Amino acid sequence: MFYSSPGLFTSIVCLLANRYFQLTSRSRYSPHFQVSIYILHYIFAAFYACFIIRNVPEQTLALERAHQILPCLPDSIKSMRIEVINNDPIDAIKKASFFSFIVTLEITIFALLIYHKLYQSRNNTLSLSTRKMQKSFFIAICVQIIVPLTLLALPLLCFSYCSFNTIYNQSK
C-alpha cells in the first residue's frame, strides 16, 4: 500500500494538472509551468518512496518483532517469505499522512482552478453543448479521483486506528 500510493497520487495530480493546462493553453507560460509541475511532483513522489525504502529495517530482527506483536498468526503465514517495511507504525502513518496532505492540497488547488476556469467560461462565447461537455468531463474526472482515493483512504484509516489503539489480534 505504501509503495503504490505515490504512483496513484502522482497520476491523479497529473490528470488534474493536464486538464487545467488544456483549459489554459492560450497562456505563453503554461507549457513551462506544466513541465515544472510534473517534474517537481515526480521528484516529490520519488523522495517519498526513497524515504520508505531507506528506512526498511533489518529483516530478521523486524520479523521477530512482528511475530511478537502478532503472536496469533497461523504457521502457514509464518512460514511464508514476509518483508517488513517498518517496525514503527506511527512513523509510517506520519509519512503517509504528510504525503497525503501535500497531494490533497495539490488536488484541491487544481480542482478549484479547473472549477474557476469552467465558471469563467460560462461568460465566454462557448456554446451550451461545449459547456455541458466540459461540466460532464469535470464530473467524470472527479468520480475517477474519488474512487481510488476512497479505496486507498479506508485501509489507511483502519491501519492508523488499529495502530493507535494497538489492536492487532483479529481472533478476539
In the chain, where are the structural domains located? 5-58+90-164
82: amino acid identity, one letter: I
Could you give the percent of the chain with pLDDT greater than 70? 83
Cell of 170: 483479529
> Residue 159: which of 74, 97, 79 has the closest Cα?
97
Look-up of cell digits 465558471: 119
Whole-structure pTM value: 0.62
| Beta carbons within 8 Å of 8's beta carbon, 6+ residues apart | 148, 152
- Answer whether residue 80 shows pLDDT above 80: yes
Cell of 23: 483549459
Q: Which string of b and e fits 22-38 if b means at least 16 CB within 10 Å?
A: ebeeeeeeeeeebeebb
Q: Are 39 and 68 in contact (CB under 8 A)?
A: no
> Residue 69: which of 84, 57, 48, 54 has the closest Cα?
84
Cell of 9: 497520487
- Express each pLDDT in 94-152 by its tens digit: 777 777 788 778 878 877 887 787 777 666 667 788 878 878 887 887 787 777 777 77
| pLDDT computed for residue 60 by the predictor | 84
- Answer whether residue 58 shows pLDDT above 80: yes
Q: Are 156 and 133 in contact (CB under 8 A)?
A: no
- Answer whether residue 172 shows pLDDT above 60: no
